């Protein structure tokens, strides 16, 4: 329990960032690959949608333009939701600084697993199914969690930067330092970063394999185990914050209750 609290708590270490990043990279890979099987769109990264927006603006295909705009907006809304929840938790000094957005992601994934097949047919003003917007929102929500907790050093929903950094460290590792080179000028790979980036890429790949197989053979209900993992990460710190959260809820209710009317009229006291 204590270890789970630390994974999403406000006290961050290299180890907790790495462990949470690896777990969420697996989750993103599974959701991204599985989402493609059901909606024929990758929703964990927005590069393709930005390109689609530019291309179809030139081609005049406004339906695809609307789809790209809606998906981009959903992803940014997810990231914005994380910013609101994390800053609210910090303001109130909660233990689970990063637990609330992960709890929201888990709840939405549970709903997606139960009614995802229905939402796949629901059309939206953005010319893409509600399923696509929901998946993009979830990935924006998650990516912002890891970005904020690691000060933008770890990403989990897209691998372009991860693979680039992995290649840089591999290049450093293979670099030939000539004899006689001063030690301060040696080119050395950062093996910790090398292991981190290799781990993130591997977990995203394994998650993709598991997600694709799960959606193919099990269907939407496959996301339920993924949601349970997120619940396991988010509930322990929120349980530790239960008294403070209860106080905040009571205070909010008190603030919204109408005040007692002041006495008035001839019978009123002085």
Give the separation between CA 198 and CA 206, rounded to whole angstroms: 12
Is residue 179 situated within a structural domain?
Answer: no
Say if pTM beats, i.e. exceeds, 0.85. no
Is residue 249 situated within a structural domain?
Answer: no
For position 261, what pLDDT does the model report? Answer: 46
Is residue 261 situated within a structural domain?
Answer: no
Is residue 145 situated within a structural domain?
Answer: yes
Is residue 73 situated within a structural domain?
Answer: yes
Both tokens of 93, joined, read 């000094």
For position 6, what pLDDT does the model report? Answer: 61
Domain count across the chain: 1
For position 78, what pLDDT does the model report? Answer: 95
Tokens 């690896």 sit at which residue?
22
For position 10, what pLDDT does the model report? Answer: 65
Is residue 117 situated within a structural domain?
Answer: yes
Query: Which domain covers residue 228, as residue numbers?
Result: 2-153+204-240
Both tokens of 102, joined, read 């992960």
Is residue 267 situated within a structural domain?
Answer: no
For position 45, what pLDDT does the model report? Answer: 83
CB 269 within 8 A of CB 131: no
CB 35 within 8 A of CB 108: no
Task: Classify each residue of 124-146 as buried b or exposed e, where b means 16 or more C-beta atoms within 10 Å of its C-beta.
Answer: bebbbbbbbbbbbbbbbbbbbbb
Give the separation between CA 242 and CA 250, rounded to whole angstroms: 12
CB 91 within 8 A of CB 10: no
* Residue-by-residue pLDDT tens, the chain, 270 positions: 455 556 666 667 778 888 888 999 999 999 999 888 887 888 888 888 899 899 999 998 998 899 899 999 999 999 999 999 999 988 888 877 888 999 999 999 988 888 777 776 777 788 788 888 889 999 999 999 988 888 777 888 888 889 999 999 999 888 887 777 777 777 888 888 899 999 999 999 999 999 999 988 988 888 899 999 899 888 888 888 888 888 878 887 777 666 544 444 444 444
Is residue 270 situated within a structural domain?
Answer: no
**Cα–Cα distance list, 143 to 27, 38, 91, 137, 168 (Å):** 11, 22, 21, 10, 23
């Amino acid at each position: 329990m204590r270890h789970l609290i630390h994974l999403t708590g406000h006290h961050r270490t290299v180890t907790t960032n790495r462990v949470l990043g690896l777990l969420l990279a697996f989750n993103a890979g599974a959701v991204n690959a599985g989402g493609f099987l059901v909606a024929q769109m990758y929703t964990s990264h927005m590069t393709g949608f930005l390109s689609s927006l530019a291309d179809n603006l030139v081609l005049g295909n406004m339906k695809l333009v609307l789809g790209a705009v809606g998906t981009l907006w959903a992803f940014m809304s997810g990231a914005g939701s994380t910013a609101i929840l994390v800053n609210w938790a910090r303001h109130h000094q909660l233990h689970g600084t990063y637990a609330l957005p992960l709890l929201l992601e888990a709840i939405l994934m549970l709903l997606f697993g139960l009614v995802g097949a229905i939402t796949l047919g629901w059309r939206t003003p953005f010319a893409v199914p509600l399923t696509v917007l929901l998946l993009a929102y979830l990935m924006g929500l998650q990516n912002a969690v890891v970005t904020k907790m690691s000060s933008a050093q770890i990403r989990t929903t897209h691998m372009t930067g991860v693979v680039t950094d992995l290649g840089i460290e591999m290049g450093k590792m293979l670099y030939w330092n000539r004899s006689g080179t001063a030690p301060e000028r040696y080119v050395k790979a950062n093996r910790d970063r090398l292991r981190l980036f290799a781990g993130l890429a591997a977990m995203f790949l394994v998650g993709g394999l598991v997600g694709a197989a799960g959606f193919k053979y099990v269907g939407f209900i496959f996301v339920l185990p993924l949601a349970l993992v997120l619940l396991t990460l988010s509930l322990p710190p929120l349980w530790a914050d239960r008294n403070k959260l209860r106080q905040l809820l009571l205070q909010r209710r008190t603030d919204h209750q109408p005040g007692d009317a002041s006495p008035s009229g001839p019978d009123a006291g002085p």
